[in-house]
């Protein structure tokens, strides 16, 4: 796995489409800025339900614009997986995420999960019939 970005607790509140302010976790992956509402992240960690990952926009403050992916707890419950709509799959430590939400640590590293090729090359053997004359 290779480092792709980080997650940190935002010092600002982000407004949604209705104008409600939400405390968020900032997720920066490959230079792009995303966010997860903290109450949604808690629900994802403690119940195993997925939560939306939002695209963040800075325009006179932070604004939640549209859903860009989802965050779910892994089967082992030791990591959270972030799946973006563009096909990217990333992971981070669930214990460290809990620590960030609680305010004990500042940020955690997000790693890219390498995905297998969609159409792996299949090796075909050439079979020629034995011809007798």
Helix axes 38-47, 94-102, angle to 10 degrees: 140
Domain borders along the chain are 2-112
C-alpha count within 13 angstroms, C-beta hemisphere, residue 115: 9
Per the confidence metrics, is the pTM higher than 0.85? no
> According to the model, what pLDDT value does residue 61 have?
73
For the cut 80, the answer to whether the pLDDT of residue 122 exceeds it is: no
Q: Read off the pLDDT of residues 72-94 as tens digits, 9 standing for 90 and up.
A: 999 999 999 999 998 899 999 99
> According to the model, what pLDDT value does residue 106 have?
87
Q: Read off the pLDDT of residues 27-62 as tens digits, 9 standing for 90 and up.
A: 999 999 999 999 999 999 999 999 999 998 877 777
Distances (CA, A) of 43 to 2, 39, 58, 71, 102: 27, 6, 26, 11, 14
Structure tokens at 23: 């405390």
Alpha helices in 16-93 (DSSP H): 38-47
Question: Using 50, 70 and 90 to split pLDDT, how confident is the model at 120?
Answer: low
């Amino acid at each position: 796995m290779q480092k792709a970005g980080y997650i940190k607790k935002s010092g600002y509140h982000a407004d949604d489409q209705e104008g409600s302010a939400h405390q968020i976790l900032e997720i920066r992956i490959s230079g792009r800025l995303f966010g997860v509402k903290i109450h949604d992240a808690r629900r994802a960690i403690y119940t195993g339900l997925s939560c939306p990952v939002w695209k963040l926009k800075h325009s006179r403050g932070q604004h939640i614009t549209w859903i860009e992916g989802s965050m779910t707890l892994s089967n082992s419950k030791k990591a959270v997986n972030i799946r973006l709509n563009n096909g990217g799959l990333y992971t981070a430590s669930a214990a460290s995420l809990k620590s960030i939400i609680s305010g004990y640590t500042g940020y955690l590293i997000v790693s890219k999960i390498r995905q297998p090729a969609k159409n792996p090359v299949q090796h075909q053997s050439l079979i020629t019939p034995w011809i007798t004359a």
